[in-house]
Amino acid sequence: MTPEQAQIALTLGAVLFVFLGSGLWIALSLLGVGWVGLMVFSTVPVEKSLATSIWQASATWALAALPLFIWMGEILFRAGLSGILFRGIAPWIAWLPGRLMHVNVLGCGIFAAVCGSSAATVATIGRMSLPELQSRGYSRTLSVGSLAGSGTLGLLIPPSIIMIVYGVAADVSIVRLFLAGVLPGLMLIVLFMGYISLMAVFRSDSVPLERERLSLREKLARSRQLLPVVLLIVSVIGSIYLGIATATEAAAGGVIGALALATWTRTLNRTMFFDSLLSATRLSCMIFFILAGAAFLTTSLAYTGLPEALAGWIDSMALNPYVLIAALCVLYIVLGCFIEGISMIVLTATVVLPMVSQAGFDLIWFGIFVIVVVEMAQITPPLGFNLFVIQGLTGMSIFKVAAAALPFFLLLIAAAVLLTIFPEIATWLPSTMSRH
């Protein structure tokens, strides 16, 4: 990297810091830095570059799945899915150490498979599970911590909103990303449930005695409402994995299935329909706006030559690839203290992805790795989104919620380490399915 390029990088970094520190929207901050980069360090016409880059970023078929998956989650959120999940799962896990505490993990895992949003997963499952667990005498700390950790599954278990954003930013197959997230998601569920079981064994006061014993017929009766949800998950995810439908087509089918489920549960009405549609529209517009700003910034940086220079600089340092990954892990955890996950991805993609590719890492694997790290950021103060959601549900201070979530933060670190040592956890399924 030349001294001139280093000066450009420092200048643009300082401008971005000032914009974000002033409270300006992230999307506008990205657009502003791109504008400064082109105006000051380039002779390219700003207006033409702005129009072209935003059009190219938004006019992609892959992004059509995003608002549809968000709308599907909004419909199910308002259809009372959390109650169905709690009643359907609870009878089958009473034999496990920790008993109903596992509802947080399994409920979040199932809801993540039809939602894709971490905050929505925490809010939906938490509204049902936390009061129920507290009334039965379960440890409040473990209940809150398991919910905070398990809510992050909304980012990793497909269909995931952040996976779609990363797929567009990195120009990789979204279907392959969905496939890559399955085994890491199951691994996290096992890690979380294993920790809860150990806590129940070694701290018996955290889990009360359950006196209710149900026959097989009663268990099946309580779980019958869970069948349509399971069928919806299988049809949406299965159609993608089997090549029957693209991600966008599966998302459209998921919306139809969610509307049918809401009709079956008698929660669909005019108000619910328009509220879910407007909420999905607001969230989709926010994400598209951020992507547009990131696309313009990417174009601006390309004209300055900074991404290639940074990648070449990292290559010239001859760093061990795993040292690079460790440094990026720390970077994303620090960024997660100040900005949310989607913004982290689009903000860093231009600079980070060439470096990762230059180091020889598979971009599909890195997508899953970085999503696990972003999951850590969801439960990291002061701006961990899951912490704020749980604070609103419980009234606990943000630092008490963060302390309760600390063991699950450490489990996420363990998951990131396992992914690094055994990359096949993320790459085996997409490579196997692509051969068939």
Interatomic CA distance for residues 379 and 336, integer angstroms: 9
Give how far Cα 81 sits from Cα of 85, 114, 258, 264, 266, Å: 6, 10, 10, 12, 12
Interatomic CA distance for residues 378 and 270, integer angstroms: 34
Task: Encode the chain (436 residues) as per-residue pLDDT tens digits.
Answer: 677 777 777 888 788 778 877 877 777 887 888 888 888 887 777 777 777 777 776 666 667 777 887 788 788 778 776 667 667 777 777 777 777 778 788 878 877 766 666 766 777 777 777 877 787 778 888 888 888 888 888 778 877 778 888 888 888 888 889 889 889 989 999 999 999 888 888 877 666 666 566 666 777 776 777 778 778 878 887 887 777 887 788 888 888 988 988 888 888 899 999 998 998 888 778 777 877 777 787 777 777 776 666 666 666 666 688 888 888 888 887 777 666 677 778 777 777 888 888 788 899 999 999 999 888 877 877 666 677 778 877 888 878 888 888 999 999 999 999 999 999 999 998 888 765 5
Reported residue count of the chain is 436
Interatomic CA distance for residues 246 and 165, integer angstroms: 16
Q: Residue 10 CB: number of other CB atoms within 10 A?
A: 10
Which positions ≥6 away from 416 have C-beta within 8 Å? 329, 369, 372, 373, 376
Q: Residue 197 CB: number of other CB atoms within 10 A?
A: 17
